Structure 1
Amino acid sequence: MKISSAITTLTFAFLGAILSQGCNKQEDYEMQAKAYPMMTIKKGSMTLSYEFPATLKGIQDVDIYPQVSGTVKDVKFSEGQAVKKDQELFIIDPIPYEAKLEKAKANVASAEAELSSARFNRDAKASLYNKMATSKYESIKADNACKVAEANLNLAKAELKVAQENYDNTVVKSPVDGKLGMSSIRQGALVTAHSTHLVSVSDSSYVHAYFSLTENLVLFLNSNSEDEADFQIKFKLADGTMYDKIGEVDAASGIVDSTTGAITFRAKFPNPDGVIRSGSAGSVVIPMTLDDRIVIPQTATHEIQDKVFVFKFEDGKAVSTPVQILPYYDGSNYIVSEGLKVGDVIITEGAGLLRDGTPVTRKSEELEQSKSDNQAAVNK
């Protein structure tokens, strides 16, 4: 009995040691497992925003040059003012052109008189020739003289047309409605036809913004525009404020720039108040909302050899998992296209410090909130 009792005692002691060791291992595991913030994957939306420098021009930017040379007699506008189409801007000394116009008119009158005499002589010679009273040579000569007179009249009329146009061009008018730029031309200045820049006028009731997108981004925007993506064209002014009118793309280059791989686009913005001036600096902004996507924080990812990984929480451990993400993000979040599904749990912070298989526990949101409230009370 004593021997049996001793064996029983030893058996219980051995079992107790094993259980105690198991409990200690469990306690050690729980002590080793560090708590990390995590999230359960579900689908949501993300708004991406793309910003590109743009060159701005009015729908019509016209540089005005004189069509005739001469001395400026009058400047009939103030720089920067709004003007209407055909409004007078400059007067160039018309006297030389008026004299040429009068001479051209006189030449036309003289040519008409010569043609009248030539026709009378031709008809007379033709009548005499029919009566055998003159030679055929004289009749043909009179007919040719009539044709020469007709040609001279046509030439005189052409010269008159040019003289009249030159005279009219001594008054320089605005070709479009718009606003004038600055001008260095003053009264008394000598200007040269087709060479001296007088002033520029811009029709800025609408403005065109020219910008470029990479071919890859164009393909991405086009593919997602068919996938419930929502994007508009906005404009950011030079001071960083957003223009309150929405634009639309009204033209795109049909050629990809071989050196940059970019495509040039043109967006049209209404500008009824003249807030945007032709030549202004600014940026085109394209916001686009993608719905029904898996969105994760950038802090949940880490990279190894150009591949992106996250850590799933599975069976109390961190499991390294490769994922595919879109190349465009909002600066703090990624959209995952492959590697995760709804219901997965991932670690959202500290991914760069973890290793595959590391024991982890989920940080209690209630505990964190309590700590935050306590800290706020201490700070007060």
Structure 2
Amino acid sequence: MNTHRPAAFLYSVMILAVLSGCASSSAKPEGGAPPAPSLPVLKVAEVPATTYREYNAALEGKVNVEIRPQVDGYLDKIFVDEGAYVKEGQPLFRINDRPYREQLSNASALLLAAQANEEKASLEVSRLTPLVQNNVVSDIQLKTATAAYQAAKANVAQAQAQVSNARINLGYTLITAPVSGYIGRIPLKTGSLVGRGETQPLTVLSDVKEVYAYFSMSEVDFLRFKDKTKGNTIADKVKQLPPVELVMADNTIYPEKGRIETMEGQFDKTMGAVSFRAVFPNASGLIRSGNTGKVKIPEAFAAAILVPSEATFELQDKVFVFAVGDSNKVTSKPIRISGKNGNWYFVEKGVSAGEKIVYTGLDRLRDGAVIAPETISLDSLLKARPL
């Protein structure tokens, strides 16, 4: 009987157990690492599109007239209310006119006296003329009478000027609208003492049939405008700009489109910007002086690289995307945005057509992370959110 067979059998069983344990341990992931996250990935492409550049704007009526008194006195009557629409020539205010009526009466009386003296001097010249011709009196008397007559004529002219001035001042007591428009705030009330020395106007009258939108363009944007817009001169380039839109303070789009008319001749050194003026029709009076908004200038691209805003993140004033590379590793890349339309960015530099970027879930990613990409279609996104 062979006594070594049970020992050999036991040894074989132990070897198989050890090998089985090694195989099972090698089948487990090292350190229990989690699987790669599944994230939607978008292939960047070029499409024809229109982007917009937005600039903060201050809105003013085409004509803003400060209504100021031309004479001193107490405010007798206010004919209009704040916010009312008035027509050119319509009465607005009346200043107490009694002192000015008295001044006119006094000036008129002085004129009558001066005219009487002129007539008397004229008669004296007429009386002396034949006497001098007949050598009855010396010509020195005629010369004296003629000089008195000229002085009387001058007094009449001066009196007439005083009457005209008094009449003008009397007319200034009734203040009328120089243009048609809307009345602004009226800070003074009936009975207030007003005059030419007041720093505050009686009101401001705004003609808002057309409104001006004043906005500033940075030096970088201005150089871009100068290089990309056709025209030999700046004035020609301004004329070539397309119609612009106005975004109101509540982010609604004003129904009428406007046009850019002029730009200032110099840059503001403190702001590093140059001002432009756009004009918008406002026949319905929806816009008033003092409103604010944004001017949107369109720019058409034959082929633009589109990136949805959800696929970007900001870091230290720069915009980044996560590009998907070999072995599905992601890398953050800065991009330069040339414009925006809704939730779409137009990328000038940073990514190229055909590259893949992560669409959502960026907050869970770091450079070098591996993902399980789930490809989504750019066309499907554009159908859901058209430009």
Match of 1:79 among 79, 82, 86: 82
Equivalent residue for 2:119?
A: 116
Displacement after TM superposition at 1:158 (Å): 0.6
Equivalent residue for 1:335?
A: 347
Match of 1:238 among 214, 228, 249: 249
Displacement after TM superposition at 1:270 (Å): 1.3
Is structure 2 residue 91 aligned with structure 1 residue 88? yes
Match of 1:214 among 198, 205, 218: 218
Secondary structure of the 2:355 match is: strand
Task: Assess if the C-alpha contact under 8 Å between 2:43 and 2:357 holds in 1.
Answer: no
Is structure 2 residue 356 aligned with structure 1 residue 347? yes
How many angstroms apart in 2 are the aligned matches of 1:193 and 1:328? Answer: 51
Task: Assess if the C-alpha contact under 8 Å between 1:310 and 1:346 holds in 2.
Answer: no
Task: Assess if the C-alpha contact under 8 Å between 1:45 and 1:292 holds in 2.
Answer: yes
Equivalent residue for 2:107?
A: 104
Match of 1:45 among 48, 60, 82: 48
Using the TM superposition, name which of 88-97 and 186-195 deviates more: 186-195
Is structure 2 residue 146 aligned with structure 1 residue 134? no
Displacement after TM superposition at 1:166 (Å): 0.8
Equivalent residue for 1:22?
A: none
Cα deviation 1:173-222 (Å, max 9, x = unaligned): 11111111222333322222352632222111211111111122123234
Is structure 2 residue 168 aligned with structure 1 residue 165? yes
Is structure 2 residue 68 aligned with structure 1 residue 65? yes
How many angstroms apart in 2 are the aligned matches of 1:183 and 1:198? Answer: 6
Displacement after TM superposition at 1:312 (Å): 9.1
Please show how residues 1-380 of structure 1 align to structure 2 within 5 Å: 43-195=46-198, 197-226=201-230, 231-295=242-306, 327-328=338-339, 333-336=345-348, 345-349=354-358, 353-354=367-368
Task: Assess if the C-alpha contact under 8 Å between 1:88 and 1:171 holds in 2.
Answer: yes
Task: Using structure 1 for the length normalisation, give the TM-score.
Answer: 0.71
Displacement after TM superposition at 1:297 (Å): 6.3
Q: 1:35 to 1:95 in 2, by over 3 A?
A: closer
Task: Assess if the C-alpha contact under 8 Å between 2:53 and 2:296 holds in 1.
Answer: yes
Task: Using structure 2 for the length normalisation, give the TM-score.
Answer: 0.70
Using the TM superposition, name which of 181-190 and 49-58 deviates more: 181-190
- Unaligned regions of 5+ residues in structure 2, if any? 1-35, 232-239, 381-387
RMSD of the TM alignment (CA)?
3.9
Displacement after TM superposition at 1:249 (Å): 1.2
Aligned pairs, number: 327
Cα deviation 1:22-73 (Å, max 9, x = unaligned): xxxxxxxxxxx99997776653234333222221111111121111112222
Task: Assess if the C-alpha contact under 8 Å between 2:44 and 2:356 holds in 1.
Answer: no
How many angstroms apart in 1 are the aligned matches of 2:375 and 2:201? Answer: 74
Q: 1:156 to 1:140 in 2, by over 3 A?
A: same
Displacement after TM superposition at 1:347 (Å): 2.8
Secondary structure of the 2:187 match is: coil
How many angstroms apart in 2 are the aligned matches of 1:190 and 1:181? Answer: 20
Using the TM superposition, name which of 113-122 and 165-174 deviates more: 113-122
How many angstroms apart in 2 are the aligned matches of 1:334 and 1:53? Answer: 20
How many angstroms apart in 1 are the aligned matches of 2:254 and 2:314? Answer: 38
Q: Which residue identity does 2:356 align to in structure 1?
A: I
Task: Assess if the C-alpha contact under 8 Å between 1:65 and 1:194 holds in 2.
Answer: no
How many angstroms apart in 2 are the aligned matches of 1:118 and 1:192? Answer: 42
Q: 1:352 to 1:194 in 2, by over 3 A?
A: same
Displacement after TM superposition at 1:250 (Å): 1.9
Displacement after TM superposition at 1:82 (Å): 1.1
Task: Assess if the C-alpha contact under 8 Å between 2:53 and 2:340 holds in 1.
Answer: no
Q: How many percent identity over aligned positions?
A: 27
Q: Which residue identity does 1:202 align to in structure 2?
A: S
Secondary structure of the 1:154 match is: helix
Using the TM superposition, name which of 34-43 and 108-117 deviates more: 34-43
Secondary structure of the 2:288 match is: coil
Secondary structure of the 2:52 match is: strand
Q: Which residue identity does 2:223 align to in structure 1?
A: L
